[in-house]
């Protein structure tokens, strides 16, 4: 009885708890494999032809059944309109990533746009504006 409760506690982790070492290791391995895949593959989908992606982060669920992949696009900040096309080819990407991956189950890949760089550039632009710069300079 006690054994079953412990298992349920591990599997029933909330999202506020930190990731386990295994989650981090699997997520990093997926990130490396996806990055390598995106650099060498040419998609047959016309919307993805010639488009290069950067995998900025991968987050795995505690049960390792799902992974969220955050993508940015090289040379452009527009990625939202490409996500439906990436999601269409997700099963193919998953099959390519699974080759050589030593896991019992390969996580289902869920692709999301990573807007952190856009947000950082926006904050930098705000900090450089005249009104903010005036407030940040020390007065004598």
Residue 64 lies in a domain: yes
Supply the pLDDT for residue 90. Answer: 92
Residue 28 lies in a domain: yes
How far is 126 from 120, CA to CA, in rounded Å?
A: 10
Supply the pLDDT for residue 29. Answer: 93
More confident residue, 87 or 42: 87
Residue 72 lies in a domain: yes
Residue 100 lies in a domain: yes
How far is 37 from 84, CA to CA, in rounded Å?
A: 19
Give yes or no for residue 3 having a pLDDT over 50.
no
Q: Whole domain around residue 45: which residue ranges?
A: 18-114
pLDDT digits (tens, 9 = 90+) for 7-56: 333 334 445 677 889 999 999 999 999 999 988 888 888 888 888 888 99
More confident residue, 130 or 66: 66
Domain count within the chain: 1
CATH number at residue 51: 3.30.300.20
């Amino acid at each position: 009885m006690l054994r079953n409760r412990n298992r349920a506690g591990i599997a029933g982790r909330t999202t506020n708890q930190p990731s386990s070492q295994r989650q981090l290791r699997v997520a990093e391995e997926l990130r490396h494999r996806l990055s390598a895949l995106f650099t060498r593959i040419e998609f047959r989908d016309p919307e993805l032809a010639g488009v290069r992606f950067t995998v900025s982060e991968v987050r795995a669920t505690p049960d390792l059944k799902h992974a969220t992949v955050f993508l940015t696009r090289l040379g452009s900040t527009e990625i939202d309109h490409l996500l439906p096309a990436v999601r269409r080819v997700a099963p193919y990407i998953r099959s390519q990533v699974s080759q050589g991956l030593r896991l019992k189950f390969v996580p289902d890949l869920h692709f999301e746009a990573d807007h952190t760089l856009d947000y950082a550039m926006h904050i930098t632009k705000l900090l450089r504006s005249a009104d903010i710069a005036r407030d940040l300079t020390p007065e004598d």
